[in-house]
Amino acid sequence: MFFVDTLETQGLGNRSYLAGGADAAVVVDPPRDIDRVIAAAARRGVRIALVAETHVHNDYVTGGLELARVTGARYLVPAGAQVSFARTPVADGDTVTVDEGLALRAMATPGHTPHHTSYALTEDGRGVAAFTGGSLLIGAVGRPDLVEPRLTERLARAQHASAHRLADELDDEVPVLPTHGFGSFCSASQAEGDATTIGEERRTNDALTMDVDSFVARLLAGLDDVPAYYAHMGPANAAGPAPVDLTPPGQADAEEIASRLAAGEWVVDLRGRAAFAEGHVAGSLNFEGEGKLATYLAWLIPWGKPVTLLADTPERITDAQRELARVGIDRPAAAATGDPAGWVRAGEQLASLSRARFADLADARGRGDDVVVLDVRRDSERASGWVDGSVHIPVHEVRGRIGEVPDGVVWVHCAGGMRAAIAASLLDAAGRDVVAVDDGFDAATEAGLTLTRPDATD
């Protein structure tokens, strides 16, 4: 009998897999923090014999090279991937033994990248699982625009062909086990379920129900923003990532925190947005530890800028350090925990900012207050409607476009509150008078605010 264990990396919206038999296993697309993988194998009582990459990843730093080194496993990497380290190159049709009666067959499935490779797990020659990486996802496919703009349409067409190849060669009951699609920006759209099969995708996936021209047109029209840090992930993975260091950072006192801010470094407060608004170190930025920390901090921070982490507990620092290491922010410069009053020097006060609901915004507008409404949602979100008269700057562009925000009190909103808190902290650090709208966007209509919708402007 075989097993497949799923290792979730929720902050990045990805999955890795440990699959094997009684004695040995393969790890597919491992995360950088390989201790999780080693612990999973230990719980199963199996030896990690193989580590397999479906492609050179664009959205996280792989732990594959280090995992193979530590365990002595063979490191399978698609032959077409240009990498700078020794590995076992795999080409279409190659088959390697995982355990007795259990094998892994490589299937070339270009589209997400030119060299993308899926792996069919077979038991006694029968397909029992498909590790599809960034190829066939749950109700979607991996986006084709992360490699080179000139290749995007060609790769989109390749995605269609690759999806059909998987559907043609694998039985309907074979589980589809993708790496992306659970929040990762590597997915062209997000999964609407937790599990799927070849047969289910055959019935519902655009790549398998639409002709190639219609599929490509829809796929390309739906592509969203690409996180800026993606530009650093591919090269890091191709070069061979260094081992991750998760030892605790040095503890910073109030004087060091002030010095790091004065030097232009980033001081990031991981507490919830309500606590940050109530009192924070002036100039610090709010990226909630419970939110998509790695995605948004890595997206917004100038790459390589030192970062100091502030949190209410040491555990929060530990979790954040692990999450950030997955995207190449390897070592916090320093950290501080405990009471925020201890983060400022004697005689200095914590700063604060206002929070509100959409109903409060409607009241302020009704009074004729000098109100600037800043919408920090992505273009794709705003396309469905926006608060009349609002200024639109996506959260990942706010830092570089603060000068475009009109004078006045800035009421900043997103779809739910987390990104508004990030943007509000950026504006607050820049000296603007800001109100963070901590509310779901549906409440804007309920509050009586007028929305502009695209069809009304035609």
The Cα–Cα gap between 50 and 68 comes to 7
Beta-sheet strand order (sheet of 102-108): 95-99, 102-108, 117-123, 126-133, 176-178
The Cα–Cα gap between 69 and 441 comes to 48
- Cα distances (angstroms) measured from residue 74 to each of 26, 108, 127: 9, 19, 22
pTM: 0.94
Contact 257, 281 (CB under 8 A): yes
Q: Return the number of other C-beta atoms located less than 10 Å from residue 8's C-beta.
A: 13
CA 456 and chain centroid, separation: 34
Q: Please name the helix (run of DSSP H) or strand (run of DSSP E) that holds residue 214, with its range, or none.
A: helix 212-221
pLDDT tens, 281-319? 999 999 999 889 999 999 999 999 999 999 999 999 999
What is the full per-residue pLDDT of the chain (458 aa) written as tens digits?
899 999 999 889 999 999 999 999 999 999 999 999 999 999 999 999 999 999 999 999 999 999 999 999 999 999 999 999 999 999 999 999 999 999 999 999 999 999 999 999 999 999 999 999 999 999 999 999 999 999 999 999 999 999 999 999 999 999 999 999 888 888 877 767 889 999 999 999 999 999 999 999 999 999 989 999 999 999 999 999 999 999 999 999 999 999 999 999 999 999 999 999 999 999 999 999 988 999 999 999 999 999 999 999 999 999 999 999 999 999 999 999 999 999 999 999 999 999 999 999 999 999 988 899 999 999 999 999 999 999 999 999 999 999 999 999 999 999 999 999 999 999 999 999 999 999 999 999 999 999 998 865 44
Contact 353, 277 (CB under 8 A): yes
